[in-house]
Structure 1
């Protein structure tokens, strides 16, 4: 029986742990918090998981909340004009629904399941010195904790990381009481509101510890008018700021948010980080090697909503690489190969995300505008959130974009 240590109990670490456990591996999972501490703590993220990522969970029988979470059937895009009116506004339909489950609910539930199924759960923060010791007693060590000292073991890949500073200041509020969208209220959708030069607001339905809720998620250009949440510790003040900015920049979203209240005292989050791709193999002082997982090695800005999707896809890819390796040695060549297989998918996410962080070129604005008149264009853009590789076919180059829109218009 092969022994595997996973450090970090997020989407990817837990998905791999539960997947390996079901295949008969002896798995140890290290978390710096108990399931109860996670469940009663602060929100950790926004997350909207699209069809492919959800399918990875279904294949492992981990879709415990699928019947309770809202089915997100569309992705809407609005662009604010200089006078705070909407100059672009449309909703694309998804081929398969998306869902959002508060990670406090999911990670706590999965962690308890792992322990109930006989997994070795260690509640302890891990330092590099701990891993130095553990690497000698396990066949493979996976590092899935995307923050803190352990990340420093993985060298930044400058060729794949165009940014060395945060590109957005992030501010999240989980709320009850948001009114329905005025357009297509008959189905749930994620709303992407773009305020050129200022930032973005995402609104998504979710399942949280107290049932159905909505997430209000500001992404502000650093130093701009949305970059005001640093140092705000009081949840009530955080929500008040969120609404004040809504009223100023996105009055159509503010109109349905006048009665909202926070889901709980832990329902806010603010921060920033530089989008970074790192080398996948970490070297320990004693000579041992560890493999980086998900956002340890590929951390994109959340502007394209890919974090939990990428984590799920990374877990599925690594799980396949581990199981298919059988009794082989998990050496540096295998680790690099496992990452390269994941990068074949992840590279499209990174390219698209970095493109969306910049000032959109004219052909992209034209494409978003055309989606308001041509439903197939809106639908295709929406489904790109599930499979970002499709953007290669029509999004990045003006000639491809113009040809695609002209073809749809003529059809």
Structure 2
């Protein structure tokens, strides 16, 4: 029986650990917090998982909250009209909603990670509550066939050098601010189904609104992404959750009044329901070298960290876990050597590269052909639907999004159909 150590109990670490466990591997999972500490702590992220990622969870029978979490059936895009937020009320230059082919869902990671950790332990997994340093891994690496590092923050990440060729940005491109709330009203134009709402305010940033399932049941996430140094970049140093929420709402009233109109009665889900921060999108070398010469393999956002502007973090983590699991199972009894590690990462990169390219493009001011596409989606429903379903399959953006010629050819084919 092969022994594998997984460091980090997030979406990818837990999904891999539970997957390996179901195939009879002897798995040890290291987490710096207990399940109870995670459940009662601060929110860790926003997450909206689309069909493919959800299917990876279903395949491992880990979709414990599928019946409780809201079924997100649509994705809407609104673009604020230029200059309209100063001084008068903001109008929308673009506003449309598309249907997803397979529903999406969001489960607060406090609920999911705590639940999955308890499941892992109940199924006989070795759970070690301990923050891991490089020295710890040096010691452990001698007793395990493979060490996977899935803890995306802290000292361990520094073992994996930045891949400059795949990382165009060296600084954070957005300041992030999240609030989980109860009491948000429906969008009046489509009250009959749940949708993620992407509100773009050119030159300022983005507001995402997504239905979720949290520790206290059904809720919504209000998520601002502000261009650094701009009017949304005001959450740094705000410690008080109530102040964080009132700032969130103040900015909604100013920049996205159509969303603010349904948020006048909201309150935070709990004292841990806010989060703020920023990080530079980075692709790293997948292999970490320990002082003793041992090798460890980085997982998910340890090696490919994208800005959350395209909502891909938990989706990529799930896809990475599924890809790595397949590579480990196929390896059988052969050694998990450097060549295998590099091949395992490159196999995942075949999927991840599309996410990185699209996300980095969305962080830059949109070129004219992209604005045309998003605008055309308001008149041509197939365009809206294709754009929305790209969140599940970002590889499709290669076919119509990045190059002006492909975009106009695609729009021409839809308009003429």
1:53 aligns with 2:57: no
- SS of residue in 1 equivalent to 2:135: helix
Q: 2:273 matched to which residue of 1?
A: 267
Distance 2:55 2:257 in 1: 36
Distance 1:275 1:156 in 2: 10
- SS of residue in 1 equivalent to 2:296: strand
Q: 1:19 matched to which residue of 2?
A: 19
1:347 aligns with 2:359: no
How far 1:92 sits from its partner (Å)? 1.0
How far 1:183 sits from its partner (Å)? 1.8
How far 1:406 sits from its partner (Å)? 1.1
Distance 1:4 1:399 in 2: 48
Structure 1 residue runs of 4 or more that deviate by more than 3 Å after TM superposition: none
Match of 1:187 among 190, 193, 203: 193
Q: 1:67 matched to which residue of 2?
A: 67
Distance 1:196 1:328 in 2: 52
1:77-117 Cα deviation digits (max 9, x unpaired) = 00001212100000011000000000000000000000000
Distance 1:157 1:92 in 2: 36
Q: 1:248 matched to which residue of 2?
A: 254
How far 1:188 sits from its partner (Å)? 0.3
1:384 aligns with 2:362: no
How far 1:5 sits from its partner (Å)? 0.2
Distance 1:409 1:179 in 2: 35
1:369 aligns with 2:379: no
1:199-229 Cα deviation digits (max 9, x unpaired) = 0000000000000000000000000000000
Distance 2:99 2:352 in 1: 24
Q: In angstroms, what is the RMSD of aligned CA positions?
A: 0.4
Q: How does 1:309-320 map to 2 (within 5 A)?
A: 309-320=315-326
Distance 2:187 2:354 in 1: 31
Distance 1:242 1:192 in 2: 15
Q: How does 1:118-137 map to 2 (within 5 A)?
A: 118-137=124-143
How far 1:369 sits from its partner (Å)? 0.4
Unpaired runs of at least 5, structure 1? none
1:177 aligns with 2:183: yes
Q: 1:335 matched to which residue of 2?
A: 341
Distance 1:139 1:183 in 2: 55
How far 1:185 sits from its partner (Å)? 1.1
Distance 2:338 2:207 in 1: 41
How far 1:184 sits from its partner (Å)? 1.3
Unpaired runs of at least 5, structure 2? 85-89
Q: 2:78 matched to which residue of 1?
A: 78
How far 1:76 sits from its partner (Å)? 0.3
